Each structure stands twice: as structure tokens, then as C-alpha cells.
Amino acid sequence: MSNKRKDVRNKAKIEFFANNVTSVTGSSQLLTFFDKDLEKDIHILLELGMSQEGSKLDSYLTNSRLLEHIDAKNLDFVIILHNHTDHTGLLGNLVTNHNFNGQIITTRENKAITPVMLSDSVYIIEQDIELLKRNSKAKDRIYKPFYKIQDVETLKDYMIDIPINKIVNLTKNIQIRFLENKHCYGSVSCEIFMKDLNSRVHKLFYSSDLGGVNNTHFVAKSQKAPKNSTISIYESTYGCRDRDLIGGKKARKKELEILEDTLKNTLLSGGSCLLPCFSYQRTPTMLMYIKDIIDRNESLSKFPIIVDGKLTNELLDVFEKICEGEDKENIDSILKWDNLIRIRSYKDTIKMSNDKEPKIVLSSSGMMQAGHVIEWAKQFLPNKKNCIIFCGYSVNGSLASRIKLKNETNQKTVQIEKSTVLMNCQVVNFNSFSSHIMRNDLINYVLQTNTSDYICFVHGSTDAKLELAEDVCKRLDDECVSTKVIIPKKNQVIYF
């Protein structure tokens, strides 16, 4: 063996080819390492998320290009760290005529949640395909769903769950350890250890999405950074410096006080409150906060709490089955709540939304781009007694973002599907309920790990990555640490 060939085989390789290099969705990276006992390269895919930005055509083309890059039949392992669509939404494609024969490594919780999330994605993908076929600008293309419901069923056979905080062998020379994080239920970060021809260990740490330190319900109790790593890859969602101003315990406490005042003022004045909520984590979390408020306020005890959405309720069913300890006590307290009304069908949504009695409604999706929440918005927006309470992120151009701007723009109407709807209701927007780690906490987390070679930032806007990298570099320089901080470019390859 030539020295050059041997040198390559003594290095691990990470490829950055997905949309998370340039933006905040579509997370995926490919790790390759030569296993000396198996005498072959082992290919490990870190997540396979869907891009969710731009027009439906833009998203379709971006996701199609990503899938063309994935050689599914040569993948040995796929690592799934949590179940948000931008990290797992293309997973079903692995078994769609691609001869995938690897293993999907994840947690017990994610193994239960993944099929539910992917089944919902099938429905959304099929809807988007039908819209694209009718789009005059896109009609000359051939559109195919990325995967179908039978692929989701097939995928279950490839999923293996492993414990958290325990080193597990993938091969004799490659090991993995999941680390708890506070992003959402079942979410983890991971360390991968690789022993080369000379028995030197190369260590990769991938944060995936990290959670806010104030996240309390249905998340891990701790979020500890690894002690050391050769290369570390971090999210940078809230890397911009202006995020320093909205995080922290004080902000959460203040917004919970505003939430309580808003619920009392609206409901006791004869109005209703709508909370557009993401199905997976935000809905049960907000239900816990609302239940706590109502339990403290006898005057609110008579008002119904409606949880509307097929996916939302299917996930609550999963939570009920798999939650343990304090999480089990919390989910049971919600689902046995006398005030709670659960709606799964659109027919029931129409019926209930026409009822004008005061109520609190949590409905998906959080960005109001699809789902039953659109019908609620049409009913709630014209009535000045009502209030829409936003507790999550929304991309520019989404219906949620347009309604959020009502107070700034003084816009009187909003276009919803083919209808022009008056915006008379109150609008309240919260920032502290994000499931993502805030900027200062992220910097402190990054610096807790002794990363020898490279710190890489993905999953963020250009400004977020640049500002985060600048401040981390400064902190490293102050401590005379020579670790390179990198913002990977599309299709960049790093050997370590």
C-alpha cells in the first residue's frame, strides 16, 4: 500500500452537501471511514432532512438534488437524532427503489415517533405534487413523490434503537454514543469514535439541534457538552447577535405572565384564543403551561381546551404510550383533563370552529401554511374579541409571519387561500418558547468541548453563522486556542 493511500485511510472524511450548509432546513452530512478489520469504507449518514424553504417548486428541486447525491445502497448506517422534518423528512426515500440495506440508528423514543412523522410527510408531499402538476410555471416537469406510505412501513424493519449515554459498537472500530439534549422529546446529540490503521481514535461530535436551557416539559433534564473531539459540528439557528436579547429565564417568566393575562382578558371578555402550534413538541409543552395557568385561576376553569389536528393527536397517543417517569405523569394529566377536547377530522374542525363560545384552541401547523389551523384563522381573525397567540418561529412569507406583522404594518386584511380575511383580532407574539438553544448558551456550550481540529457551523442563516463564528474565534484567540472555526461551503469535504 502506498503511503498516500494509507494516509487517506487513516483519515475520517465528512462531506457537507445538504441545504443546512446554506440555511436552516435540510440537515444531512456524510461521514466516511475505512474500517481496518472489514477492509472497506464505512458510510454513515448523519440525518436526512427535508428542505422547507422557498416556493413548493424550489423545495421540490432542492430535495430532489439532495436525494440524487445519496447513494442509498452503499450506506451502512443512518443516524437519526430527532424527528423534526428538516432532519428526517426524506428518510422514506432510502427504501424507494434504492436497495438500502443498512441500519437506522436512533433512540427508543424516535423509533416510535419516526413512522408517525413520515406518514404525515407522505400526505403533505402528495398534496404538494398535485399543486405542482397544476402550476403553469412548472407543468413541463415530471413530479414524483419522494416516497409512499408503504416505504414508511418498510423503513421500520431497518430501525434499531440504542441507549443514551452508553458507547455502542457500530463495527469493531467504529463506536457511537448518544448524549442527552433539551431540544425536544427523544432528541440527542452524538459522538462517533473511529479507530484508524495505527489505532489512533478520530472523534466526531454532531450536536444536531440543541435545546434552550429553559425548556422544561418533555425534554431531557440535562444537556452536557462532550469533553473533547477532533471535529465538532454545531447548529447555528440563533447565532445572530440580536438573539441575545430574547432568551433567558426572565424572558420566559415575563411571557408566561403575558400569556396568563392574555387568556384571562380574552376569555372573560367573551373572546377565544388560537395558538398555532407545531404538532411534535410545542403542543404538549404549551398544554402544560396553559393547564398550570387554568389550575391557578378558578375563573378560567369552565373554558374548553381544543387540540385540533390528526398528526398532533397521533403524536399525543405515542407520548401516552412511551413516556416514562415525570413525562408520563405530565402527559396523563393533560389527556385526562376534563377541559380537553381532541379533534382529528376536518369535518369536526368545521363544526367546532363555527361555535362562537369562548375557547382556547391549539392547532397545527405552527407556521399556518397548512392544516386545520387555517380554518380557525378564517373564523378568529375578523372578531376583535379574539386573540391569536404565536409561540414559535415562522419563515418569511408564511401566513403566520404575515399575521404577526399586523401590529407593525397596520394591515387590515390578509389573503388566506382564495379569501381576503379581515384582521380585527388581537395578535400576541412570543419568542422565548423556541425549542432551540439561544446564542450565548450555544457559545458557552461550544467552548466547553476541547475540539482539537475543526469547529463547524451549519443549520443557520449566513449572518447567524458568520456572527457566531466571529465571536467563537475571538473567545478561542483570547484563550490561545488554535482550533479552526469553519463555515462549510456547499459540497465541501473535510478530512480529520
Residue 393 has pLDDT above 90, yes or no: no
Residues constituting the chain: 496
pLDDT band at 245 (very low <50, low <70, confident <90, very high): low
CATH class of residue range 3-242+435-495: alpha beta
Q: In what order do the strands lie in the sheet with 387-390?
A: 340-343, 305-308, 360-363, 273-276, 387-390, 426-429
Average pLDDT, the chain: 93
Confidence of residue 417 (pLDDT cuts 50, 70, 90): confident
**Whether the Cβ atoms of residue 426 and residue 259 lie closer than 8 Å to each other:** no
**pLDDT at position 472 over 80:** yes
- pLDDT tops 90 at residue 145: yes
Q: Residue 265 above 90 pLDDT?
A: yes
For residue 434, give the nearest of 251, 242, 268, 178 by alpha carbon: 251
Question: Using alpha carbons only, how large is the chain's radius of gyration in Å?
Answer: 23
Q: What is the DSSP string of 328-366?
A: HHHHHHHHT-TTEEEE-SHHHHHHHHT--S--EEEES-T
Is 249-429 assigned to CATH 3.40.50.10890?
Answer: yes
Residue 30 has pLDDT above 80, yes or no: yes
Give tens-digit pLDDT for 11-22.
Answer: 999 999 999 999
Q: Would you say residue 187 has pLDDT above 60?
A: yes
Question: Would you give the DSSP letter of residue 458?
Answer: E
Query: Cell numbers 406583522 label which residue?
Result: 405
pLDDT of residue 361: 98
Residue ranges per structural domain of the chain: 3-242+435-495, 249-429
pLDDT at 138 (0 to 100): 66
Q: Is the pLDDT of residue 197 over 90?
A: yes
- The number of helix segments (H) and strand segments (E) in the chain equals 15, 22
pTM of the model: 0.93
Q: Indicate if the pLDDT at residue 362 is higher than 80.
A: yes
- Over the stretch 86-115, which tens digit does the pLDDT of each residue have? 999 999 999 987 789 999 999 999 999 999
